[in-house]
Amino acid sequence: MAYDLLIKNGRVIDGSGRPAFRGDVGVSGGKIVAMGKLRDSAARTIDADGLVVAPGFIDNHCHYDAQVTWDPLCTFSCYHGATSVVIGNCSLALAPVRRGGEERLMEFLSYVEAIPMEVLRTIDVGWETVGEYMDTLDKRLGVNVGTLIGHSAVRHYVMGDDCQGRAATPDEVEAMRRIVRDGMLAGALGLSVSRNRGHYDPQGVHIPAIWAEESEIFALADVLSELGVGTIQSGGGRDAELQNRLMTRLAEATGRQLVYNNLGQSARQPDAWKEHMALVDEAAKAGIRANPLCTPNSNVTRFNMRNTQAFRGIPTWHPILLASDDEKLRAYSDPAVRQKLHEEVVEWKADIPSANIPRRWYDYMWVGETALPKNKHLEGKSLRQLAEAQGKGIIDAFLDLVVEEHLDTVFLQGASNVDKEAMAKILNYPHAFIGLSDGGAHVQFHGGYGYSTRLLGYWVRQEGIMSLEHAVRRLTFESASAFGIYDRGLLRPGMAADITIFDPDTVNPLPEDVVHDFPAGGWRVRELATGIHYTIVNGQVLLENGRHTGALPGHVLRNSLYHSEVQA
């Protein structure tokens, strides 16, 4: 037979974890139709000699809910080999939405995920239901997009402004259950909830999902159990699991796969990952699928004091972060404000459960780029080093620089996943899923898009913590299985032809830079890759050597129940 696309002479790593083999892959009609040593002709042939031919990577934790409406490629995940992304995480979504409620959903997404409101306001919201949102996306996609039903959006749709401030009534819970059911029947991949008490709206009030009682969460998740389909995702699940085993209890009650954020090594609690892993082991032995996500990325965030999430939840700092730039400068120059900040986050005179920073945050925050040439010698110094060199307290040294440079100093913050030995164990842990790029979120602070290329380049090639075959399985088949994307994640005849072709000797994320390519003149941090030669979606080449071909072959990914109903 003649193929639409023939990939020749590649090092085929099929996603199963089995050893690689040298061979060809034939594609027709958007599906893999043959593998081995193939002799038939093709409309296009790619010579993959010296390259790995793998299933397309699945970016399992993204926030492209808004961005996908103007950027069908969901950049920059696809530049790192992702052919599918999962959005609607952490209870945040843009559907369902009532007319006039768009601004509020955008505020939740903007403040939690650090996406500028002026960018979000450019979206033309022409949908109401989850199904209508998916149908809108399906008209123009470069990559495949799977959606989760966001609890915060559902709660706001049913309860209006009361979604923040009280428990839902039985009638309201039943209305929410109907919305979840309708969304699942329309093909959503699952339900996302949140227990992350660091997630606020711009007014400093917890997002709607945080106000839900446990009984409400269980009632909504039970819809997935009744239908026998779908994955539950939870933002902030780690703390809830460590406190009262909520993730395990929810997975056990519903029988559904549950994934949550996250298993990692933290400077705040360097050994807490071991305790967390022991709890996951216990659940796994009981046959309960409550699995954390983990990431190969160390968490290094760029920010300036015009716009930062670092100090949210600190009583004195929180309102200052919401103020104008002039008000910020006045506050940061005020000795009384500085004294309060010193007491709160240097002396830690009182416990602050909502704090997002470790107690010794000044050891993990350093000067990245100064605005004034005379201060360039300060770059690379931690805030502790800065204070010691100047003979000042931490707060004074920090805010003196902030005020002098009119909030333009770029700082770097890194407080997690920096212990190599711990990370080797975490990334190899069989009961955690690798991913968590957060693609589309925190766009002016950092890019986690390169988790896949960082795993392949740094952790596999340089550090040798796992085989290349196992790494590919971690990036493909495991996430496909977790989210019920059963026609992807493996190279097999009959599977969708989502394929990534990369050079194992050069694959790596590139250094971050800044691009001004968002609507309304918005800017963001960009992270591209080297060594990714082809990103192929549904049998069509989307990216070739880092350049978009113009093709838009992506689809909305829908659950197995939807497909069975359509086929019936």
pLDDT of residue 415: 67
Specify the long-range contacts of residues 70-76, CB closer than 8 Å, at least 24 apart: 70/122, 70/123, 70/519, 72/140, 72/141, 72/142, 72/143, 72/552, 72/554, 73/142, 73/143, 73/542, 73/548, 74/142, 74/143, 74/145, 74/439, 74/440, 76/439, 76/447, 76/449, 76/526, 76/527, 76/528
Question: What are the tens digits of pLDDT across the range 206-229?
Answer: 999 999 999 999 999 999 999 999
Question: What are the tens digits of pLDDT across the range 426-480?
Answer: 999 999 999 999 999 999 988 899 999 999 999 999 999 999 999 999 999 999 9
User: Can you name the residues that pair with 371 across neighbouring β-strands?
Assistant: none
Answer for the pair 506, 52: CB distance below 8 angstroms, yes or no.
Answer: no
Q: Domain 57-299+416-480+493-557's class?
A: alpha beta
Token pair listed for 390: 């100047």
What's the N-to-C CA distance of the chain in angstroms? 30
Phi, psi of 263 (to 5 degrees): -100, 120
Amino acid at 351: D
pLDDT of residue 507: 99
pLDDT of residue 37: 98
Answer for the pair 453, 506: CB distance below 8 angstroms, yes or no.
Answer: no
Question: What are the tens digits of pLDDT across the range 377-386?
Answer: 999 999 999 9
Q: How far is Cα 144 from Cα 558, in angstroms, rounded to an integer?
A: 10
- Residue 197 vs residue 477, higher pLDDT: 477
Answer for the pair 108, 83: CB distance below 8 angstroms, yes or no.
Answer: no
The model's confidence at residue 91, banded by pLDDT at 50, 70 and 90, is: very high
pLDDT, average across residues 267-293 = 94
**Buried b / exposed e along 70-85 (16+ C-beta atoms within 10 A):** ebbbbbbbbbbbbbbb
- Least Cα distance to 105 among 202, 248, 35 occurs for 202
Rg (CA), the chain: 24
Q: How far is Cα 461 from Cα 509, in angstroms, rounded to an integer?
A: 13
Answer for the pair 484, 230: CB distance below 8 angstroms, yes or no.
Answer: yes
Answer for the pair 177, 212: CB distance below 8 angstroms, yes or no.
Answer: no
Question: What are the tens digits of pLDDT across the range 467-516?
Answer: 999 999 999 999 999 999 999 999 999 999 999 999 999 999 999 999 99
Q: How far is Cα 27 from Cα 362, in angstroms, rounded to an integer?
A: 54
The model's confidence at residue 204, banded by pLDDT at 50, 70 and 90, is: confident
pTM of the model as a whole: 0.89
The whole-chain average pLDDT of the chain stands at: 96
Question: What are the tens digits of pLDDT across the range 95-129?
Answer: 999 999 999 999 999 999 999 999 999 999 999 99
- Residue 351 vs residue 129, higher pLDDT: 129
DSSP line for 204-265: SPBPGGGG--HHHHHHHHHHHHHHT--EEEEETHHHHHHHH-HHHHHHHHH---EEEE----
pLDDT, average across residues 312-331 = 93
pLDDT of residue 463: 98
SS3 category, 463: coil
Question: What are the tens digits of pLDDT across the range 60-90?
Answer: 999 999 999 999 999 999 999 999 999 999 9
pLDDT of residue 352: 87
Token pair listed for 402: 């902030």
**Domain ranges (residues) in the chain:** 57-299+416-480+493-557, 301-414
pLDDT of residue 493: 99
